[in-house]
Amino acid sequence: MSSLQSLLTAHRLGQNVGLYSVCCSNEQVLRAAMQVAARYGTVLLIEATSNQVDQFGGYTGMTPPQYRDYVQTLADEEGFPHERLILGGDHLGPNAWQKQPAAEAMANARVLIEAYVAAGFNKIHLDCSMSCADDPTPLPDAIVAARSAELAVIAERTAAAHNLPLPLYVIGTEVPIPGGEASLEGGLAVTTPAAAAQTLAIHQQAFDTPDLRDAWQRVIAMVVQPGVDFDHSSVHDYDAAAASTLADFLEQQPRIVFEAHSTDYQRESGLHALVRDHFAILKVGPAATFAYREALFALAAIEAELLPAAQCSQLPQVLEQVMTAQPKYWQAHYHGDDATLRLLRSYAFSDRCRYYWGEPALLQAVQTLFANLEQHAPPLVLLSQYLPEQFRAVRAGQLVNTPAALVQHHIGLCLGEYARACSANLAGARKQNESSQASVLANG
For residue 380, give the DSSP letter: H
Element (H, E) at 300: helix 286-306
* Cα of 292 vs its chain's centroid, Å: 14
Of the candidates 348, 355, 190, 407, the residue with the CA atom closest to the CA atom of residue 277: 190
**CA–CA distance from 240 to each of 33, 237, 243, 245 (Å)?**
27, 10, 5, 9
Q: Where do the domains of the chain lie, and which CATH numbers do they carry? A: 3-287 (3.20.20.70), 289-442 (1.10.400.20)
Residue 140, CA atoms < 13 Å, CB-side half-sphere:
6
Write phi, then psi, for 257 (nearest 5 degrees).
-130, 175
- What SS3 state is found at 279? coil
Q: Is 366 helix (H, G, I), strand (E, B) or coil?
A: helix
Q: What is the 3-state secondary structure (H, E, C) of 155-167?
A: HHHHHHHCCCCCC
Neighbours of 143 (CB within 10 A): 18
What's the full length of the chain, in residues?
444
**Cβ(418)–Cβ(282) under 8 Å?**
yes
DSSP alpha helix (H) spans, 208-285: 213-216, 244-251, 268-276
Rounded Cα distance, 202 and 199, in Å = 5
Nearest-angstrom CA–CA distance, 123 and 102: 24
> DSSP string covering 85-141, please?
EEEEEEEESSGGGTTS-HHHHHHHHHHHHHHHHHTT--EEEE---S--TTS-SSPPH
One pLDDT digit (tens) per residue for the chain, 444 residues: 799 999 999 999 999 999 999 999 999 999 999 999 999 999 999 999 999 999 999 999 999 999 999 999 999 999 999 999 999 999 999 999 999 999 999 999 999 999 999 999 999 999 999 999 999 999 999 999 999 999 999 999 999 999 999 999 999 877 666 555 555 566 789 999 999 999 999 999 999 999 999 999 999 999 999 999 999 999 999 999 999 999 999 999 999 999 999 999 999 999 999 999 999 999 999 999 999 999 999 999 999 999 999 999 999 999 999 999 999 999 999 999 999 999 999 999 999 999 999 999 999 999 999 999 999 999 999 999 999 999 999 999 999 999 999 999 999 999 999 999 999 754 444 444 444 444 434 444
The whole-angstrom separation of Cα 244 and Cα 391 is 41
The whole-number pLDDT of residue 430 equals 41
Amino acid 183: pLDDT: 53
Calculate Rg over the CA atoms of the chain: 22
Dist. CA 209–CA 170, nearest whole Å: 18
Which residues pair with residue 20 across a beta bridge?
282
Residue type, 129: S
pLDDT at 181: 52
Residue 209 CB partners (closer than 8 Å, separation 6+): 149
Distance CA 55, CA 61 (A): 10
Distance CA 148, CA 142 (A): 10
Q: For residue 171, list its beta bridge partners.
A: 222
pLDDT of residue 186: 62
270 contacts 237 by C-beta, under 8 angstroms: yes
Note the pLDDT of residue 429. Answer: 40
In three-state secondary structure terms, 245 is helix
In this prediction, residue 443 carries a pLDDT of 45
Give the pLDDT score at 188. 85
pLDDT of residue 119: 98
State how far the Cα of 302 lies from the Cα of 295, in Å rounded to an integer. Answer: 11
| pLDDT at res. 178 | 57
Cis peptide before 138 (omega within 30 of 0): yes
Strand partners, 60: none
The whole-angstrom separation of Cα 314 and Cα 308 is 11
Are the CB atoms for 416 and 437 separated by under 8 Å? no
